[in-house]
C-alpha cells in the first residue's frame, strides 16, 4: 500500500467503516434540514387556525352552536387571532378540514398533490403532471435562449469597454420592470404578428433568465488573475484562444451557479406567461382556475408542484456541474 493510499480519507477502516462514516455524515447534514422543515410545518399548522377562524365559526353557527360573539356581523370586523381566542375549541377543531380554507393545512395540500399526480392519468386535465409538462416546454426553451443570450452578452461586455459602459446598465435597468407589467405587452405584440403558442412564453422566460447568466459570466470571465492573462499574452495567444483556454474554464463555477438561478426564473416566467393568455393548461392555468373558483387547496398544490419542478431542474444542473467540474479537475 502506498503512502497516498494510507493517507487517503477512510483508509484502513474497511468498507463497512466507510459506509458508517458516510451514513453519519448524511445524518449530520439531514438533521438540521429536517428540523427546519418540521418547524415550518408546525408554524404552518398554527397559522392555519387564525387564518381559517372566520370560516370555522361560520360552520359552527350553521350547526346551531352558541358562539361568542353570537352573530356574523359582530365577528366580521374581528381579526382571526381575536376570533381564535374568543372560541379556541371551535377554531381549532374546524381549522384543518374545510373545503375552501383561506390557508389549507399541510396534509390537505399533500392529499391534493397525491390525488392530482398519482391518482390521475397523465393525460387527464386534472393531472398536475400534465400541467407541469406543458409549462416545462416554454421553461426549457426560454432557459436555453436566455442562457445563450446571457453568455454572448457577457463575452461582449468583457472584451468591449463600449459594451461594458452601454449594455450592462441597460441589462440592469431591464430587471426593474415588473414581469407582470411587461408579460401582457409581450403576448399582445407577438400575437399581433401571428406568433402564438410556446414561443411568447419562452421569450418571457428568457427575459427573466438572461440577467443572472450575464452577471455570473461577467464575473467568471474576469476571474483569471492578471498574471494568468500576462502569461497568455507572453505566449502571443489571441483573444479567442485566451477566451477558450483560460476565461471559459475559469468561469464554469460561476456559470453553473447562475444557471441554477436562471432555470428557476425561467419557470416563473413561463407560469406568468400563461396568465395573460387565459391558458387552460399549465401550472399558471391551474393557479388561475383555483383563483377563479376559490379552490385554495388547488392553488397551493400547484405552487408546490412548481416548486418540485424547479427543485428537479436545479438538481439536474447541480449534477451536470459536479460531473463537468470533476472531469476538468476543478472539484
Phi-psi region of 224 (alpha: psi -120 to 50; beta: other; left: phi over 0): beta
What pLDDT, on the 0 to 100 scale, is given for residue 6? 45
pLDDT category at 179 given cuts 50, 70, 90 is confident
Number of domains observed in the structure of the chain: 2
What pLDDT, on the 0 to 100 scale, is given for residue 143? 96
Q: Which of 70-74, 315-319, 321-325 has the lowest mean pLDDT?
A: 70-74
> Could you say which of 98, 117, 138 is where a domain stops?
98
What is the grid cell recorded at 62?
350553521
110 part of a folded domain: no
258 part of a folded domain: yes
pLDDT in tens, 213-236: 999 999 999 999 888 888 888 898
Q: Are residues 157 and 305 in the same domain?
A: yes
Those residues whose C-beta lies under 8 Å from the C-beta of residue 277, and which sit 6 or more positions away, are 187, 200, 201
What pLDDT, on the 0 to 100 scale, is given for residue 15? 58
What pLDDT, on the 0 to 100 scale, is given for residue 10? 47
133 part of a folded domain: yes
Give the range of the structural domain holding residue 321, as residue numbers without chain letter: 128-327
111 part of a folded domain: no
Query: What is the average pLDDT score of the chain?
Result: 86
Q: Are residues 51 and 199 in the same domain?
A: no
> Could you say which of 98, 118, 141 is where a domain stops?
98
Q: Are residues 151 and 21 in the same domain?
A: no
Q: Are residues 94 and 132 in the same domain?
A: no
What pLDDT, on the 0 to 100 scale, is given for residue 16? 62
108 part of a folded domain: no
User: Could you tell me if 218 and 152 are in contact, meaning their C-beta atoms sit under 8 angstroms apart?
Assistant: no
Q: Are residues 165 and 77 in the same domain?
A: no
CATH number (domain holding residue 213)? 1.10.3720.10
Summarize the chain as % helix, strand, coil (round to 5). Answer: 75, 0, 25
What pLDDT, on the 0 to 100 scale, is given for residue 19? 59
What pLDDT, on the 0 to 100 scale, is given for residue 20? 61
Name the more confident of 212 and 294: 212
CA pair distance 116, 110, nearest whole angstrom: 10
Q: Are residues 198 and 298 in the same domain?
A: yes
What pLDDT, on the 0 to 100 scale, is given for residue 22? 58
- In this prediction the pTM is 0.84
Mean per-residue pLDDT for 169-182? Answer: 87
Amino acid at each position: 500500500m502506498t503512502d497516498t493510499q494510507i493517507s487517503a480519507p477512510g483508509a484502513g477502516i474497511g468498507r463497512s467503516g466507510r459506509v458508517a462514516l458516510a451514513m453519519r455524515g448524511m445524518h449530520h447534514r439531514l438533521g438540521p434540514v429536517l428540523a427546519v422543515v418540521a418547524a415550518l410545518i408546525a408554524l404552518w399548522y398554527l397559522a392555519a387556525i387564525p387564518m381559517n377562524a372566520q370560516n370555522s365559526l361560520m360552520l359552527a353557527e350553521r350547526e346551531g352552536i352558541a358562539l361568542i360573539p353570537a352573530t356574523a356581523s359582530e365577528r366580521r370586523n374581528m381579526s382571526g387571532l381575536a376570533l381564535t381566542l374568543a372560541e379556541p375549541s371551535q377554531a381549532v377543531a374546524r381549522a384543518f378540514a374545510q373545503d375552501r380554507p383561506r390557508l389549507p393545512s399541510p396534509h390537505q395540500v399533500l392529499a391534493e398533490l397525491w390525488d392530482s399526480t398519482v391518482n390521475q392519468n397523465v393525460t387527464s386535465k386534472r393531472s398536475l403532471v400534465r400541467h407541469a409538462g406543458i409549462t416545462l416546454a416554454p421553461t426549457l426553451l426560454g432557459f436555453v435562449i436566455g442562457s445563450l443570450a446571457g453568455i454572448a452578452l457577457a463575452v461582449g461586455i468583457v472584451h468591449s469597454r463600449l459594451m461594458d459602459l452601454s449594455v450592462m446598465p441597460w441589462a440592469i435597468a431591464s430587471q426593474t420592470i415588473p414581469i407582470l407589467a411587461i408579460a401582457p405587452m409581450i403576448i399582445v405584440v407577438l400575437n399581433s404578428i401571428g406568433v402564438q403558442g410556446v414561443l411568447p412564453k419562452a421569450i418571457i422566460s428568457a427575459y427573466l433568465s438572461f440577467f443572472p447568466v450575464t452577471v455570473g459570466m461577467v464575473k467568471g470571465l474576469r476571474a483569471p488573475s492578471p498574471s494568468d492573462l500576462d502569461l497568455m499574452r507572453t505566449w502571443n495567444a489571441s483573444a479567442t484562444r485566451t477566451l477558450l483556454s483560460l476565461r471559459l474554464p475559469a468561469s464554469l463555477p460561476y456559470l453553473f451557479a447562475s444557471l441554477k438561478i436562471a432555470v428557476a426564473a425561467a419557470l416563473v416566467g413561463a407560469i406568468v406567461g400563461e396568465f395573460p393568455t387565459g391558458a387552460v393548461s399549465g401550472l399558471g392555468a391551474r393557479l388561475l382556475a383555483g383563483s377563479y373558483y376559490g379552490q385554495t387547496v388547488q392553488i397551493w398544490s400547484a405552487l408546490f408542484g412548481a416548486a418540485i419542478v424547479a427543485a428537479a431542474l436545479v438538481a439536474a444542473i447541480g449534477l451536470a456541474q459536479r460531473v463537468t467540474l470533476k472531469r476538468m479537475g476543478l472539484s
